[in-house]
């Protein structure tokens, strides 16, 4: 299959949908962890800021196995979407 088969509007929409679902899930989780102020603002607890900054500053190779597994779970979502797209293309398998 030529690489150009990956540059279709349909596949871009499929991947964008996966990305939106990932982002929405993360935002729900993040908001649940925060303390809401009277004005509706959210404050992230310091221990979570510390943890997430450490994770942001750590290469994938240096993450713990649990952290890597979390990233793998997200990667599988993208791969599943790509597989479904490719399965729908005649002669792609």
Distant-in-sequence, close-in-space partners of 34: CB < 8 Å, separation ≥ 6: 42, 43, 44, 45
Instruction: State the pLDDT at residue 7.
Output: 84
Task: Provide the 3-class DSSP secondary structure of residue 44.
Answer: coil
pLDDT exceeds 70 at position 93: no
Using a pLDDT cut of 70, give the percent of the chain over it.
Answer: 96
Answer left, alpha or beta for residue 48, where phi above 0 means left and psi between -120 and 50 means alpha: alpha
* pLDDT for residue 24: 98
pTM score of the predicted model? 0.82
Q: With the C-alpha atoms ordered 29, 32, 35, 38, is the resulting torsion angle positive or negative?
A: positive
Residue spans of the domains in the chain: they are 3-88
Is residue 40's pLDDT more than 70?
A: yes
Check: CB of residue 6 under 8 Å from CB of residue 90: no
Res 31 pLDDT > 70:
yes
pLDDT at 91 over 80: no
H or E element at residue 56: helix 46-56
């Amino acid at each position: 299959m030529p690489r150009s088969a990956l540059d279709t509007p349909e596949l871009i929409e499929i991947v964008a949908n996966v990305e939106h679902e990932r982002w929405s899930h993360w935002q729900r989780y993040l908001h649940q962890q925060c303390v809401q102020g009277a004005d509706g603002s959210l404050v992230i607890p310091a221990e979570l800021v510390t943890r997430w900054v450490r994770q942001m500053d750590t290469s994938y190779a240096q993450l713990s196995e649990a952290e890597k597994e979390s990233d793998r779970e997200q990667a599988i979502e993208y791969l599943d979407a790509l597989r479904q797209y490719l399965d729908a293309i005649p002669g792609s398998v």
